[in-house]
Amino acid sequence: MEALTFTDFQPEVIFMDEAAKIVEPDAIITLAHYAPAPLVMIGDHKQLKPTVLSRDGPSQQFAAQMTMSFFTRLVRLGHPTIMLTEQHRMSPEISSIGSAVFIN
C-alpha cells in the first residue's frame, strides 16, 4: 500500500479541533493547501489562548497579535457560530460554576 501525499489527498471538509489554540499562520498553511474545502472550527474562544513564545515578550506587536487565535478573530468579526448548550464531561453541579463564570 502506497502512502498518501499532500497532492493525493483532498478533504471534503477541514476540521480544526481546539481551534481557539490555533494561531493564524498554522491555520493559513492548512487552508491555503486544501482550499476550497469547507472549514469547521471546534473550540471555545473564551478559554485558553494560543501559546506564543517570543524573546521580546507580549510587548512586541507581532507576538501580542498572535495571542489571538484565528478562531477568536473570526468570532470577533461576526462570523456565524454555534454555542453548545450541553456537555457530558462533568456533573451539572460543577459545570454550572464554569458556565456562570465564563459564559453567562
- 45: in domain: yes
pLDDT digits (tens, 9 = 90+) for 12-66: 888 999 998 988 888 888 888 877 778 899 988 888 788 777 776 666 777 777 7
**All 3 cell numbers of residue 43?**
473550540
- 9: in domain: no
The enclosing domain of 51 has a CATH number of: 3.40.50.300
pLDDT confidence tier of residue 78, bands split at 50, 70 and 90: very high
Per-residue confidence (pLDDT) for residue 68, from 0 to 100: 85
Q: Look at 67 and 95; give whichever has higher pLDDT.
A: 67
Per-residue confidence (pLDDT) for residue 86, from 0 to 100: 73
Phi and psi at 51, nearest 5°, equal: -90, 120
Q: Check whether the bond before 36 is cis (ω within 30° of 0).
A: yes
Per-residue confidence (pLDDT) for residue 33, from 0 to 100: 81
- 4: in domain: no
